[in-house]
Structure 1
């Protein structure tokens, strides 16, 4: 059995631990982390991927260590610890998904870490979902974390019943991030000239359909001739795109110090979060009050309207579910069918015969014609 080291990147390359942090593999085949200077006292730290790690490390570094809370067997904290270190489902999540779920659970564990697992009944989970009803997306993500963890616990016979079964999510209708319009693209292009990092970033999302997380890491090493190939951050799906001449010209016209196509003003690669904040500011400068995800929506819509099918969209945008692609193809199909149907209705209405009048000028004219014929 291979023990996955959380101090390694997804690629398998080792991630350097902060100063004075040491890792140890326990007899339960679990990695644990300690802060220790020389031969001084050891202080247990959370997992480096845990949102609480940074605060605990800085406290230990400044001489005010915060001991990681002791985890008792049979509690929610104990289950979460096992789930994130032993579950293949968890290991299969992208780093972005793992980070999102850790942030959600960090808040849950603040008050519930030492509660026994049998306290988490169906009613308790439903209450947790209902508390988040004002932000339905957060309620859905909370339930997704609970279902992943308790579903795994049920299969491992850690709990007799999965308390997340039959949970009802709050209903809401939303189209998510509003899509960009062609006018938004024109406004952004007017504000940010060719040769700037912001212009290249926008065009990579529009013309190549890359997510912002992928734009922050894509570089020359991903381009061979006219083809750009990259494993997407969110789904892990590999996308291969033929770069149009306009985009190749933009890449060549944008100065950079390293391999990354889009760099900071200091010539360094962006972090994923840093890129999102930076790009939002550049959108504000252009008067575009929308997100980078809305730019991908415009790109996918244009592709679907141009005739791209569901599987073509999946390959272009790195989607793994055909239902995502059908959001765009069905919309285009409905538009086309609506236009075609309206024409059919108009033709059918045009074929309706106008009945002859029984009285009036028409009758008089007809009778007069008959008299003259005689």
Structure 2
């Protein structure tokens, strides 16, 4: 039997089969909850929707010039509206924590030392620390610019922390690790389908979790990415087509839980991480996206091709991968120049397989 919903929260299925939630008190207005059900962002929106209900009293707002006051103005700005829904949800949680801890403090009291202190407080989880710093960069970038609330952005010059996996963030899967995962999870398993979707589409975990047959037409996947809002179109490659055909899938999404329901983004990431542990590989869902970008770049993909494939709206990440691929190729070619000229051509020849064994037998 399903658990009862919190007060004033209602569940409804649209004519398109999508489940939506909204807050409504008695016969008052309906306030739609956009975040994913069950997540902290969902309940933050739920509480905000309850607070937005009209009341008989004229509630006192935050003091002008305070951090909470500035955050509310920022979240009503075009700069905030221009962020992706996923980014807004993540930063709403961060701003809620900041408001709870120091919302009544004056914005003018926040210095670079304050920002660094907030980052260091979260240093044990570098990803969370960096998300905090990015949120503060956004807030004070607006406050020092269009907002006109401060003269100097205190987040300027504060550096991001290096990730726990490697110097560039999430661990990039190697080809050997991909093969090891495939051995542990053969064709037909949900885990293998998850790997194939992530590797052969380059989608982020949230988009991979919601990918379904409705996104495929005439062998082409077309989906609007959650983070950037870019529409990507790519063919269903043969390995992915075989994996989809061999696996039990859902009606709305290819990837489903043991109960046959679609995955939430967070639960999908946790589930896939457990599959990686069982396969004895150090990877994650995002690491496969990086592996796909590395593979494409090393196979000769251009910057524009990478941008189209991975839904990047700037060339920054594409340049990173094409530059790394070029450096690797040039280094391999230039390595021959380290040899004496008289032996360079001889060592450049690749011995035929088994040559050493044949020579030994003879």
- TM-score over 0.5 for the pair: yes
Q: Is the 8 A contact 1:227 1:242 kept in 2?
A: yes
Match of 2:324 among 325, 331, 346: 331
TM-score using structure 2 length: 0.74
**Greater Rg, structure 1 or structure 2?**
1
Distance 1:125 1:15 in 2: 37
SS of the equivalent of 1:241 reads strand
In the alignment, what sits opposite 1:120? 110
In the alignment, what sits opposite 1:16? 21
In the alignment, what sits opposite 1:256? 249
Q: Is the 8 A contact 1:120 1:163 kept in 2?
A: no
SS of the equivalent of 2:144 reads helix
Residue 215 (str. 1) matches residue 194 (str. 2): no
SS of the equivalent of 1:17 reads strand
Match of 1:83 among 74, 77, 89: 74
Structure 1's unaligned 5+ residue stretches are: 1-12, 26-30, 34-47, 59-67, 352-374
Residue 276 (str. 1) matches residue 278 (str. 2): no
Q: 1:185 to 1:162 in 2, by over 3 A?
A: same
Q: Deviation at 1:128?
A: 3.4
Distance 1:301 1:15 in 2: 38
- What do you get for the CA RMSD once the two structures are aligned? 3.3
In the alignment, what sits opposite 1:65? none
Q: Is the 8 A contact 1:125 1:163 kept in 2?
A: no
Where does 1:149-228 land on structure 2 (aligned, <5 Å)? 149-164=139-154, 166-169=156-159, 172=162, 174-228=167-221
Distance 1:23 1:118 in 2: 39
Q: 1:21 to 1:190 in 2, by over 3 A?
A: farther
Q: Is the 8 A contact 2:303 2:318 kept in 1?
A: yes
TM-score using structure 1 length: 0.72
In the alignment, what sits opposite 1:73? 64
Aligned residues: 310
Structure 2's unaligned 5+ residue stretches are: 1-17, 34-39, 51-58, 345-362
SS of the equivalent of 2:233 reads strand
Q: Deviation at 1:77?
A: 0.9
Q: Is the 8 A contact 2:171 2:282 kept in 1?
A: no
In the alignment, what sits opposite 2:334? 341
Q: Give per-residue Cα distances to partners, 1:72-113, cap 9 Å, x unaligned.
A: 3321111112211x2112112222211221222222222211
Distance 1:256 1:197 in 2: 8
SS of the equivalent of 2:72 reads helix
